[in-house]
Amino acid sequence: MGANLFRNLSFFSATLSFFLLVGIFAVLFTYAQQSMQEFGFDFLLTEEWEADEDDEGGIFGGYIPIIGTLLSTLIAMTIATPLAMGIAIFLTEIAHDKIVKPFSIAIELLAAIPSIIYGMWGLFYFAPIVQLTIGGNGVGLLTAGIVLAIMVIPYMAAITRDSMNTTPDVLKESAYAMGATKFEVIKDVVMPYSKGGIIGSIILSLGRALGETMAVAFLIGSIMSIPKSITDPTTSIPVLLANNFAEAQDLEISSMYYLALILFVVSFAIISVAKFYFLGRNK
């Protein structure tokens, strides 16, 4: 293999991500055309999702799965953010060196557990607890949101920890020397210093939570209705796709591509913001 060929091959591989990204967008956009032309942007605000008897047409709107996705993610972020911050503070500022390592490994293992396991465990062990303490049927928006939170916590905590760790010791020590408490050092030195990384980690986790499928599929209830209370079942874009994509056809499957496109574009935008603005990796 010549040197040039090697360089070209590696260049080709490097551009692959770019082409994949464009390819995914193009394919989803193309297959969504039928639905886009039929419903346009009203799709976003239409509540019905009903196929004709022969499955060739019908009315399809993305409102319910979109709302379900947003609400479950919102619940997850509300719960996950303080806990993840707490864990990061514990690991960087509180814990003794000897405990940091096993705790870090444990938190990272939590991130490695496949999402389907979270779903299964959530359905059989967590949903009954929610039902008993808060009400509802066990499965629903709240249960999905909480388990989603447990899933993104380790991820968010790890990035936050890493960025908090970049705070120079000199800064912290001079604050301590002036009599600051640990909390004041965290609040006035560590947090401002690692602000970008922390915000980035939150946004990145948000992007992850939006696209999470399996855990939510077990827990959200998979029903096309607007939740009236926090424990009510509803559905989300990934769950609708997981359950009904393979059996849909014509206008209905095109509408599913439309939903997939929306999810892809939104999570791409969110993750890009996190990566480009807050977590630039251009060392």
Partner 1 sequence: MNRLVLNKVVLVLSTLSAFIGIGFLFWILITLAYKGMAGLSFSLFTKDLVEGGIRNLLVGQFTMALMATAIAVPLGVMAGIYLREYGEESKMTSVIRNLSDVMTSAPSIVIGVFVFALLVEPFGTFNGWAGVVALAIMMVPIIIGTTDNMLALVPKELREAGIALGGSKKQVILQIVLKAAKVGVTTGILLSFARIIGETAPLLFTSANNQFFSMDLTDQFPSLTVSIYNLATYPDEASRQLAWSAAFVLTAIVLFINLVGRYVTRHKQ
Partner 2 sequence: MTLRTILTATVAASVAFTAVNAADLKGRGASFPGPVYKAWTSEYFAATGHKVNYTPTGSGDGIKSIKKRMVDFAGSDKPLKADKLVKAKLYMFPSVIGSIVLSYNIEGVKDGELKLSRAAVDAIFTGKATHWDDALITKNNAGLKLPHEPITTVVRADKSGTTFNFTYFLNKINPDFKVSKKPTWKASKVIAGKSNSGVSANIQQIKNSIGYIEYSYKIKLGLPAAQIENKEGLFINPTVASFQDAAKYATWTADNDFYAVIGDPAGATSYPIVAATFILLPTEKTEMNKKVTAFIDWAYTHGDKAATELGYVPLPASTKDEIRKYWEAKKIK
Q: Provide the mask over 245-264, with x wherever binding to partner 2 is found by CB under 8 A and - wherever it is not.
A: -xxxx---------------
Partner in contact with 20, chosen from partner 2, partner 1, none, beta carbon below 5 to 8 Å by kind:
partner 1
Instruction: Report if residue 141 touches partner 1, rule: CB under 8 A.
Output: no
Tell me how crowded residue 151 is: count the other CB atoms within 10 A of its CB: 25
Instruction: Report if residue 129 touches partner 1, rule: CB under 8 A.
Output: no
Instruction: Report if residue 34 touches partner 2, rule: CB under 8 A.
Output: no
Instruction: Report if residue 53 touches partner 2, rule: CB under 8 A.
Output: yes
The contacts of residue 190 (CB under 8 Å, 6+ apart) are 92, 93, 164, 167, 172
Distance (Å, rounded) from C-alpha 232 to C-alpha 63? 16
Q: Is 10 helix (H, G, I), strand (E, B) or coil?
A: helix
Q: How many residues lie near partner 2 (CB under 8 A)? A: 22
Q: Provide the mask over 31-70, with x wherever binding to partner 1 is found by CB under 8 A and - wherever it is not.
A: x---------------------------------------
Q: Which two tokens stand for residue 272?
A: 């890009």
Candidates 102, 100, 141; CA nearest to 229 is 141
- Least distance from C-beta 51 to partner 2, angstroms? 7
- Least distance from C-beta 175 to partner 2, angstroms? 46
Instruction: Report if residue 122 touches partner 2, rule: CB under 8 A.
Output: no
Nearer to partner 1, 5 or 170 (CB): 5
Tell me how crowded residue 42 is: count the other CB atoms within 10 A of its CB: 11
Instruction: Report if residue 55 touches partner 2, rule: CB under 8 A.
Output: yes
Place of tokens 């990934």: 238
Start-to-end CA distance of the chain, whole Å, equals 31
Q: DSSP states of 59-118 as a string?
A: EE--HHHHHHHHHHHHHHHHHHHHHHHHHHHIIIIIS-HHHHHHHHHHHHHHHHS-HHHH
Do 49 and 40 form a contact (C-beta atoms < 8 A)? no
Instruction: Report if residue 225 touches partner 2, rule: CB under 8 A.
Output: yes
Instruction: Report if residue 139 touches partner 1, rule: CB under 8 A.
Output: no
Instruction: Report if residue 42 touches partner 2, rule: CB under 8 A.
Output: no
- Least distance from C-beta 69 to partner 1, angstroms? 10
Q: How many residues lie near partner 1 (CB under 8 A)? A: 92
Stretch that binds partner 2, among 10-18, 25-33, 52-60, 206-214 (CB under 8 A): 52-60
Instruction: Report if residue 251 touches partner 1, rule: CB under 8 A.
Output: no
